[in-house]
């Protein structure tokens, strides 16, 4: 049986002034332009992340679950 590695797009997570890159498969943090995810061994696709200063609106972002503010 052939063991195929998963391919995953890189995403941004965080909020406010703190953002970081994560694997699209396992959402583990990854270093900028890493070839593979150190958590799940997925091959990372960095298309669209050429320069970190580009507008965040064009990137895939996962910001977690949204909840109502406490009263």
What is the reported pLDDT for 46?
93
Residue 30 lies in a domain: yes
CA distance linking residue 12 with residue 23, whole number of Å: 9
- How many domains are contained in the chain? 1
- Say what the pLDDT of residue 15 is: 87
Alpha-carbon distance 60 to 66, whole Å?
17
Domain that holds residue 26: 7-51
The answer to the question of residue 61 being in a domain is no
Helix/strand number for the chain, H first, E second: 0, 4
63: Cβ–Cβ under 8 A, 6 or more apart, which residues?
13, 14, 15
| 44 within some domain | yes
Q: Is residue 47 part of a domain?
A: yes
Spatial contact of 44 and 10, defined as CB atoms under 8 Å apart: yes
Q: What pLDDT is attached to residue 49?
A: 73
> Which pTM was predicted?
0.63
9-68 pLDDT, tens digit per residue, is 999 999 889 999 999 999 999 999 999 999 999 999 998 876 555 455 555 666 666 667
**59 in a structural domain:** no
């Amino acid at each position: 049986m052939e063991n195929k590695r998963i391919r995953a797009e890189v995403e941004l997570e965080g909020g406010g002034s703190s953002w970081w890159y994560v694997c699209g498969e396992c959402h583990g943090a990854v270093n900028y332009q890493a070839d593979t995810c150190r958590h799940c061994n997925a091959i990372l696709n960095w298309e669209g992340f050429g320069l970190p200063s580009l507008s965040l609106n064009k990137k895939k972002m996962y910001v977690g679950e949204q909840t109502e503010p406490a009263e």
